[in-house]
Amino acid sequence: MPGFDEMDVETIWMDGEYVDWEDATVHVLTHALHYGTGIFEGARAYDTEQGTAIFRWDAHLDRLYDSAKPYELDIPFSRAELTEATLELLRRNELDSAYIRPLVYYGYHSLGVSPAECPTETMIATWPWGTYLGEEALQEGVEVTVSSWRKHASSQVPTNVKTTGLYVNSMLAGEEARKQGATEAILLNKEGDVAEGPGENIFLVRDGEIFTPGLAESILEGITRDTVITLAEERGYTVHDEASISRGELYTADELFFTGSAAEVTPIRKVDNVEIGSGSRGPITEELQQAYFDLTEQAADHEEWFTFVD
Ligand SMILES: Cc1ncc(COP(=O)(O)O)c(C=O)c1O
């Protein structure tokens, strides 16, 4: 995956100010750096036929404010202010399409575990980002391995929201998979049932019906998951969105695919070296992937899902 530099991210928004790349820094005693006490979002702006638009921005903002709740982070900016900052960043950085990363975190005051005295800091960055798992992955599908690391349980930390510190689990699982020659991992939950990918939700197709683990399976409440459920139901599919999926069902599925703002809709062609279905992108995966890309290219349906840069 390519790194980025000041050519890509000339301007970053920090606590109400537009700052240059080299000035977007924090103190090493920042609470979040030591304890992972931040919450964040990952959204995309698409270069649609109607102009550049942030996809499902309202849902991302909803989840950002929800993520703040368990940690008692008081986001000191309104939805309108965060929206205007993001739209302005897209304009200033001259981005037709982009990945968008808002982050809210406990800053520097003291380094006890309690952040009570720490300020809440907020930043937003935007940068160009192509396909997350590679262009070939969208066509051919990815190979994954089931991680030996379990997803943390929702009884241990809130898993439905997006917290920076929790991504050490994702990192361990993803790196383990890549050491085994796979592209990505699948994490089982504490009970041993299927949870999700390190940065993706997972869907399974069997006998023409669609299954995805429910929130009680310790998954992130993915926005692309919701988009794909909606698109599938609109096309007449039955979607079981509170499924409990055992590990064995992965290998015998007709089709499997990941969803995520970064990964979009990515087919899975092998799990632990076992071919899934025909061993390439399955027909229902292809149909839903096409529906997703048509939607984000054309912005012709679901107007309420697009926030345009004017
Ligand atoms: C752990 C995890 N699960 C699922 C997802 C997919 O969520 P979304 O579709 O909202 O990007 C992500 C990405 O944000 C993630 O990090």
pLDDT per position as a tens digit, 204-231: 999 999 999 999 999 999 999 999 999 9
Q: Is the CB of 159 under 6 A from ligand 1?
A: no
Q: Is the CB of 224 under 6 A from ligand 1?
A: yes
Q: Work out the number of other CB atoms within 10 angstroms of the CB of residue 251.
A: 14
The 10s digit of each residue's pLDDT in 94-143 is: 999 999 999 999 999 999 999 999 999 999 999 998 887 888 889 999 99
Q: Work out the number of other CB atoms within 10 angstroms of the CB of residue 156.
A: 10
Contact call for residues 296 and 138 (beta carbons, < 8 A): no
3: confidence class by pLDDT, cuts 50, 70, 90: low
pLDDT of the residue at 134: 81
Q: Is the CB of 164 under 6 A from ligand 1?
A: no
Q: Give me ligand 1 centre to Cα 234, in Å.
A: 22
Can you tell me which atom of ligand 1 is nearest the CA of 59?
A: 10
> What radius of gyration, in Å, describes the C-alpha atoms of the chain?
19
Same-fold call for 11-127 versus 135-298: no
Mean pLDDT of 244-263: 98
Mean pLDDT of 15-21: 97
Q: Is the CB of 213 under 6 A from ligand 1?
A: no
pLDDT at 78 over 60: yes
69 a catalytic residue: no
All structural domains of the chain with their residue ranges: 11-127, 135-298
Contact call for residues 172 and 214 (beta carbons, < 8 A): no
pLDDT of the residue at 135: 82
Q: Is the CB of 44 under 6 A from ligand 1?
A: no
Q: What is the pTM of this model?
A: 0.96
Report which protein residue has its CA nearest ligand 1's atom 1. 199
Q: Position of tokens 């997350």? A: 132
Provide the b/e sequence for 3-38 (b: ≥16 CB within 10 Å). eeeeebbbbbbbeeeeeebeebeeeeebbbbebbbb
Q: Give me ligand 1 centre to Cα 220, in Å.
A: 6
Q: CATH for 11-127, among 3.30.470.10, 3.40.50.300, 3.40.50.150, 3.40.50.1820?
A: 3.30.470.10
Question: What torsion, rounded to 10 degrees, do the Cα atoms 76, 79, 81, 84 define?
Answer: 150
pLDDT at 194 over 70: yes
The three-state secondary structure class of 303 is: helix
Catalytic residue among 162, 179, 190, 270: 162
Phi and psi at 83, nearest 5°, equal -65, -50
| Residue 95 identity (one-letter amino acid) | L
Architecture in CATH for domain 135-298 = Alpha-Beta Barrel (3.20)
